[in-house]
Structure 1
Amino acid sequence: MTNLKIGDQAPDFQGVNQNGERIGLKDFAGKKLILYFYPKDNTPGCTAESCNLNDNYDAWLEKGFDVVGVSPDSEKSHQKFIEKFGFKFNLIADTEKEILEAFGVWGEKSMYGRKYMGVFRTTFVINEEGVIVEIFEKVQTKDHTNQIIEALKL
Structure 2
Amino acid sequence: MTAGMMTRHKRRKLKSEINVVPYIDVMLVLLIIFMVTAPLLSLSVDVDLPQSKARAVESKKDPVIVTVDAEGRYFLSLQGGKAEAIDATELSTRLSAFVAQNKDVPVFVAAPGVAEYQKVMDTMVLVQAAGVPRVSLMSQPGGQSSR
TM-score (norm 1): 0.31
- Greater relative contact order (Cα 8 A, min sep 6): structure 1 or 2? 1
Pick the structure with more helix per residue: 2
Structure 2 length normalisation: TM-score?
Answer: 0.32
Q: Indicate the structure (1 or 2) with the bigger Cα radius of gyration.
A: 2
Query: Would you tell me which structure has more strand in proportion to its own residues?
Result: 1
